[in-house]
């Protein structure tokens, strides 16, 4: 895909702006005043980090691949760093959250928001320990790397389907075959993380059997009982 990059000093949200743009647009901002994360959470957005949103066409049945494809694109863009992935689409550096992804859909397109802690990372009001790249890359350098990897992975998705994206994601996945906790809106589940199914749902092995989950926050480092 040919990307048309638009850069701004400050936006409320790159996703909000990208929702108004045609397919192929990339919206970048040096900072955001109302950055958003999953479940309506605030994404702290000071200057120095990467905030970008990509506008994709509606991929139909392949929409399920987009969160995983995006996470792999970010991971592939950071060779030499201790990168792993946490379901469904968090990117970790040495086990701490480095990047988050927010995907929004309209009738005919997808907007993929990517936030990467390049220079700084939040320390307050967070659910999971955070990390940053300590300024070892410039935001634009990283953005160009991600877009290059994105095109490679979109081509792979087109030729071989989600199974190949799933395979790539699992190669980075952390916590497989280990005990995890899944925090849902009104409960918490524990079990063994067995990977993801053909639709990207998390597989959680419990004494009563294996459950498939499509939402929730994953936490690791639980002691086996």
* Domains of the chain and any CATH numbers: 4-172 (3.30.930.10), 179-219 (2.30.30.100)
The H or E element that residue 66 is part of is helix 66-76
Q: Under a CB-based contact definition with an 8 Å cutoff, are residues 101 and 67 in contact?
A: yes
The angle subtended at Cα 146 by Cα 159 and Cα 92, nearest 5°, is: 105
**Non-local CB neighbours of 207 within 8 Å, separated by 6+ positions:** none
Grade residue 224 by pLDDT with cuts at 50, 70 and 90: very low
* pLDDT value at residue 19: 96
Token pair recorded at residue 222: 């639980």
Instruction: Give strand ranges (E) for the chain.
Output: 4-11, 25-32, 50-57, 83-86, 90-93, 96-105, 109-116, 179-183, 188-196, 202-206, 209-213, 217-219
Grade residue 171 by pLDDT with cuts at 50, 70 and 90: very high
**In the chain, % of residues over pLDDT 90:** 82
The SS3 assignment for 45 reads coil
Bigger pLDDT: 74 vs 183: 74
Instruction: Please write down the long-range contacts of 77-82, taking CB distance under 8 Å and 24 or more positions apart.
Output: 77/142, 77/145, 77/146, 77/148, 77/149, 78/133, 78/142, 78/145, 81/133
Q: pLDDT per residue over 26-55, tens digit each? A: 999 999 886 665 545 555 667 889 999 999
Grade residue 66 by pLDDT with cuts at 50, 70 and 90: very high
Q: Which residues pair with 36 in a beta bridge?
A: 42
Grade residue 127 by pLDDT with cuts at 50, 70 and 90: confident
In this predicted structure, which of 56-65, 75-84, 164-173, 182-191 has the lowest mean pLDDT?
182-191
Per-residue pLDDT averaged across 167-173, rounded? Answer: 97
């Amino acid at each position: 895909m040919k990307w048309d990059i638009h850069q701004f000093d400050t936006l409320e949200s790159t996703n909000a702006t990208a929702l108004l743009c045609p397919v192929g647009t990339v919206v970048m901002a040096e900072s955001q005043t109302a950055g958003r994360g999953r479940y309506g959470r605030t994404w702290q957005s000071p200057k120095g980090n990467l905030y970008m949103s990509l506008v994709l066409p509606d991929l139909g049945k392949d929409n399920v691949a987009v969160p995983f494809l995006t996470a792999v694109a970010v991971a592939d863009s950071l060779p030499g760093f201790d990168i792993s992935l946490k379901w469904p689409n968090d990117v970790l550096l040495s086990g701490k959250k480095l990047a988050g992804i927010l995907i929004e859909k309209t009738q005919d397109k997808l907007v993929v928001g990517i936030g990467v802690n390049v220079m700084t990372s939040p320390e307050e009001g967070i659910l999971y320990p955070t990390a940053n790249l300590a300024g070892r890359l410039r935001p634009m350098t990283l953005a160009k790397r991600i877009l290059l990897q994105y095109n490679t992975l979109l081509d792979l998705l087109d030729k071989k389907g989600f199974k190949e994206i799933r395979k790539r994601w699992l190669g980075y996945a952390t916590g497989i075959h280990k005990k995890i906790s899944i925090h849902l809106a009104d409960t918490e589940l524990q079990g063994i993380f067995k990977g993801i199914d053909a639709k990207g749902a998390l597989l959680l092995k419990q004494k009563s059997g294996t459950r498939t989950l499509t939402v929730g926050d994953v936490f690791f480092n639980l002691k086996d009982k």
